[in-house]
């Protein structure tokens, strides 16, 4: 079982059944689809293939949200420093004279003197003037503006709605097709996440809030509180803030998210050179290791697996690097000040489990949960023992496979609100599936007689062989 998870973006290079199986074999734990690319029929087909060949692998779909991009262009213009490029909100152009963008009000939000960045900040322009729907830009260097590349306008307050009509359409698609997580771009408040959840209208898909600008950083605590997971999109974050602060911001976001027991995905250019080259740079390997030691739940590959020439080698290398970092890492110690602030029942249960794991030769932690709440809380403490989340909800089983050190296991057992009979039944199911073995010493975390706010109120320790003999599981 993998502790730190690997998220692989599926694209033209990896969308076949054979490629999906191979991605999983070499180390993929979650599949990501980028809603900014391809059409919904293509994504629907990939989701169907994933469910067929990798039924327990969670699927994350990023929806465009407030991300500004160039559209698909017939002509991708090249330019020299000092030349003029015209962006436009008029969708009738194809790039040969003007380059359309997907945000209809961009010409209203910009003025002469504003800075415009493109393609993760690799292209820089200055606004010379705005005429009607056309934005005249002076290139600050040589380059080519390509299709579907991100556009950033740092320090400009864009008047985009938190949830667009296109977002609603994409969210409906995600619900209809059973996607496990949706990634929301440029989240700047907890209210934004809550509005997305209202549109979803149920427990699934879960929400991954992408922290990628100043607003997101300023409100990361409230965002983490209401989200199901966070993603650090370092490409946009470096452009919207400063490249010098990216690593420091990464550490801060992970620390805040872990205080709320929320997993964090670290993304952008982790093995970028391997899109076209067989071997990574030492800096890339160091970057992956550092993200794991910071406490992320998952590292993510984008173009490396979507269109890269060496996607197999890329995932295998990342798997090796994160596993070595996990083997090196020690449990994170909490200061006395932090412990004094922990007063809720789940906090106390976490502390008790952590103490038992240190003082006893516990081999596995079993959480029995419909929603996966207990697994989320225990995973945030990053115990050395593997966590098994037993649930009777297939969506929870897939979703908890994102959590650090956690594997979701389906048990076809009704969970009772008036007895605890389902707990030994779940343990027997795990025993029958060989998820727990006679020689294991396990901790079991569950909820008994649940009422509002009554969560994680039961802890048990068992030698599995004693359970098997007592309850007649064998012989």
Answer yes or no: is 157 within a domain: no
Same domain, 342 and 314: no
Q: Residue 186 CB: number of other CB atoms within 10 A?
A: 23
- Is residue 356 in a domain? yes
Does one domain contain both 449 and 345? yes
Crossing angle of helices 311-328/17-26, nearest 10°? Answer: 20
Are 59 and 26 in the same domain? yes
Residue 337 or residue 1, greater confidence: 1
Alpha carbon distance 404, 365 (integer Å) = 13
Residue 436, pLDDT score: 95
Measured between alpha carbons, how far is residue 122 from residues 35, 39, 168, 235, 236 in Å? 22, 26, 31, 10, 11
Asked if residue 265 is part of any domain, the answer here is yes
Q: Rounded to whole angstroms, how far apart are CA atoms 337 and 54?
A: 44
What pairs with residue 461 in β-bridges? 443
What is the pLDDT confidence band of residue 365, given thresholds at 50, 70 and 90? very high
DSSP annotation of 70 reads: B
Residue 450: inside a domain, yes or no?
A: yes
Are the C-beta atoms of residues 274 and 314 closer than 8 Å to each other? yes
Share of the chain above pLDDT 90, in %: 74
| Same structural domain, 106 and 216 | no
**Angstrom distance (rounded) from CA 195 to CA 124:** 33
Please give the tally of structural domains in the chain.
Answer: 3
> Is 407 inside any structural domain?
yes
Residue at which a domain ends, from 297, 327, 357: 327
Task: With respect to residue 314, please indicate whether it lies within any of the assigned structural domains.
Answer: yes
Of the three residues 327, 346, 362, the one that is the final residue of a domain is 327
Cα atoms in the Cβ-side hemisphere of radius 13 Å centred on 30: 35
Average pLDDT value over all residues in the chain? 91
Whether residues 171 and 96 fall in one domain: no
Instruction: Note the pLDDT tens digit of each residue in 200-242.
Output: 999 899 999 999 888 899 999 999 999 999 999 998 888 888 8
**Boundary residue ending a domain (152, 174, 191):** 152
pLDDT tens column, 118-173: 988 889 999 999 999 999 999 999 999 999 888 888 877 777 777 888 889 999 99
Tens digits of residue pLDDT in 401-423: 999 999 999 999 999 988 999 99
The CA-based diameter of the chain, rounded to the nearest angstrom, is: 83
Task: Tell whether 73 is covered by a domain.
Answer: yes
Task: Retrieve residue 108's tokens.
Answer: 């209203």
* Separation between Cα atoms, residue 325 and residue 268, nearest integer Å: 19
Q: 391, 411 in Cβ contact below 8 A?
A: yes
Output DSSP code: residue 403.
S
Of all residues in the chain, the percent with pLDDT exceeding 70 is: 96
Q: Which domain holds residue 176?
A: 5-65+162-327
Banded model confidence at residue 454, pLDDT cuts 50, 70, 90: low
Q: Do residues 212 and 293 both lie within one domain?
A: yes
What mean pLDDT do residues 356-381 have? Answer: 92
Sorting pLDDT into bands at 50, 70 and 90, what band is 65?
confident
In DSSP terms, 344 is beta-bridged to none
Output the domain CATH number for residue 88: 2.40.33.10
Residues 355 and 321 in one domain: no
* CATH code of the domain in which 356 resides: 3.40.1380.20
Mean pLDDT of 432-442: 95
In a domain, 133, yes or no: yes
Give the tens place of pLDDT for each residue, 328-342. 865 444 444 444 455
SS3 291: helix
pLDDT on residue 339: 44
């Amino acid at each position: 079982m993998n502790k730190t998870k690997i998220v692989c973006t599926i694209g033209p290079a990896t969308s076949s059944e054979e490629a999906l199986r191979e991605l999983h074999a070499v180390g993929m734990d979650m599949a990501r689809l980028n809603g900014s690319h391809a059409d919904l029929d293509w994504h629907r087909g990939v989701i169907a293939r994933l469910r067929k060949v990798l039924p327990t692998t969670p699927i994350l779909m990023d929806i465009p949200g407030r991300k500004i991009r160039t559209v698909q262009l017939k002509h991708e213009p090249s330019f020299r420093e000092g030349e003029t490029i015209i962006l436009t909100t008029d969708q009738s152009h194809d790039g040969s004279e003007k380059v359309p963008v997907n945000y209809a009000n961009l010409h209203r939000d910009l003025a002469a003197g504003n800075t415009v960045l493109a393609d993760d900040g690799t292209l820089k322009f200055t606004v010379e003037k705005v005429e009607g729907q056309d934005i005249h830009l002076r290139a600050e260097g040589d380059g080519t503006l390509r299709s579907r590349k991100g556009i950033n306008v740092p320090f400009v307050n864009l008047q985009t709605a938190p949830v667009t009509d296109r977002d609603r359409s994409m969210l409906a698609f995600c619900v209809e097709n059973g996607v496990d997580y949706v990634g929301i771009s440029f989240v700047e408040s907890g209210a934004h996440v809550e509005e997305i959840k209202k549109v979803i209208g149920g427990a699934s898909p879960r929400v991954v809030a992408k922290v990628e600008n100043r607003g997101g950083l300023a409100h990361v605590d409230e965002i983490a509180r209401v989200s199901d997971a966070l993603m650090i999109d370092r490409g946009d974050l470096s452009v919207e803030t400063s490249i010098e602060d990216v690593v420091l911001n990464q550490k801060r976001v992970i620390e805040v998210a872990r205080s709320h027991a929320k997993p964090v995905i670290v993304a952008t250019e982790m093995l970028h050179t391997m899109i076209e080259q067989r071997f990574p740079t030492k800096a890339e390997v160091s970057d992956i290791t550092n993200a794991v030691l910071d406490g992320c739940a998952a590292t993510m590959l984008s173009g490396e697996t979507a269109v890269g020439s060496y996607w197999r080698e890329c995932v295998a290398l990342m798997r090796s690097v994160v596993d070595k970092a996990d083997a090196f890492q020690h449990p994170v110690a909490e200061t006395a000040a932090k412990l004094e602030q922990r007063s809720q029942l789940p906090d106390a249960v976490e502390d008790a489990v952590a103490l038992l794991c240190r003082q006893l030769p516990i081999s596995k932690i079993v959480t029995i949960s419909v929603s996966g709440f207990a697994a989320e809380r225990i995973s945030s403490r990053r115990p050395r023992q593997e966590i098994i989340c037993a649930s009777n909800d297939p969506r929870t089983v897939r979703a908890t496979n994102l959590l650090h050190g956690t594997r979701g296991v389906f048990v076809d057992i009704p969970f009772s609100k008036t007895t605890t009979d389902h707990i030994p039944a779940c343990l027997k199911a795990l025993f029958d599936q060989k998820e727990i073995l006679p020689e294991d010493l396990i901790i079991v975390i569950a909820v008994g007689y649940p009422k509002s706010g009554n969560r994680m109120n039961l802890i048990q320790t068992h030698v599995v062989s004693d359970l098997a003999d007592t309850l007649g599981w064998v012989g």
